[in-house]
Amino acid sequence: MTVFNFSAGPAVLPELVLRKAQSELLNYRGSHQSVLELSHRSALFEAILDDATSLVRELLEVPSDYDVLFLQGGATLQFSMLPLNLATTHRVDFIDTGGWSQKAIADAAPYASTRIIASSRDDHYRSIPAGPFTSDADYLHVTWNNTLEGTTFQEAPRVNVPLVADFSSSILSEPIDVSAFDVIYAGAQKNLGAAGMTLVIIKKSLVEQTSALGSYLRYDVHAKHHSLYNTPPTYSIYLTKLVLEWIKQEGGLQTITARNRAQAASLYDALDHSDLFSNQVAHADRSLMNIPFSTGQQALDDAFIAYAERHGLVNLQGHRSVGGMRASLYNAMPTTGVEALLSVLRKFEQGER
């Protein structure tokens, strides 16, 4: 049975990427070594890292005055690294758009005075706060795409301080004007590759203001050593390289974005015309990547999740803090997977159990 994985992360990977990784697992490029065994100081791995870096720069059109880093610790480590490195006057502002914003605020609090300058808490995080925004902090932090709540920013807030954005669940799903941000970071396990690596794109001028910290927590150390200060997450970087190559082969972000928008539109349309299922997110702020929905009845939601699993659609349960269902339509989700979900939604609503 074909299984379609709608997990919010770790998430589905392109089949071609998995087959390529399988074919190279035991003997990478004639070395008779697995990529898992390659020294991070070897020419073979440095070529992998260089290719991954170049592809990030190419696909996202990263300006030359930004560093591209591959770090460990997940995006969660960035919640602490950011204030440690950038909060020179110990003040950080946030736009609160849900669960991951709250985690970022909590982790910054030991190192800086945190302030929420806008929040969508009052409408249960079903929208993105409207600007304009004003900040005089060391930086303003936003969670660009909210994995739990299914909302996303449509344009970058315009403020006179550095803008930092968590792009973990939407990186490479559509074009980004990197120059509108001072730091972009993203965990790998959704659109980039496998868990264990975090992409950080940071303006060089911010790297240079790093304060006295332990070596691994310093952006300048990682930039100086080109992400090779210590043993990096080598296999995660390798898989990211393969995913980036796949995106380029697919036609780049133009092709990926068109497919993502079409797939999301078809699911939103089905939900909007359903008498059983609904999505409560403000239409203007709907995510392309994470689409929550519900029947409004816990027992019926549970029945649908079980029904979907019997038909090969897995990991549709919503986050435990939100409930209901959630379909994550990351880049690697094939259109056939979305079509299968639409079919299951329709049959369940018609009474098939």
Catalytic residue list contains 166: yes
For 164, list phi and psi in degrees, rounded to 5. -115, 135
Enter the tokens of residue 267.
Answer: 């699911």
Burial class (CB in 10 A: 0-12, 13-18, 19+), 302: middle
Q: 93, 96, 138, 166: which is the annotated catalytic residue? A: 166
Strands 183-187 and 198-203: antiparallel
Distance CA 240, CA 68 (A): 13
- The amino acid at residue 281 is V
Which of 100, 144, 220, 246 is labelled catalytic?
100
Burial code (b: 16+ CB inside 10 Å, e: under 16) for 139-175 equals: bbbbbbbbbbbbbbbeebbebebbbbbbbbbbbbbbe
Degrees, nearest 5: CA angle 194-198-200? 145
- Does 190 participate in catalysis according to the annotation? yes
- State the sign of the Cα–Cα–Cα–Cα dihedral 179, 185, 186, 188: positive
Among the listed residues 182, 190, 203, 241, the single catalytic one is 190
The secondary structure of 289-343, three-state, reads CEEEEECCCHHHHHHHHHHHHHCCEECCECCCCCCCEEEECCCCCCHHHHHHHHH
Would you call 203 helix, strand, or coil by DSSP? strand
Catalytic residues: 100, 166, 190
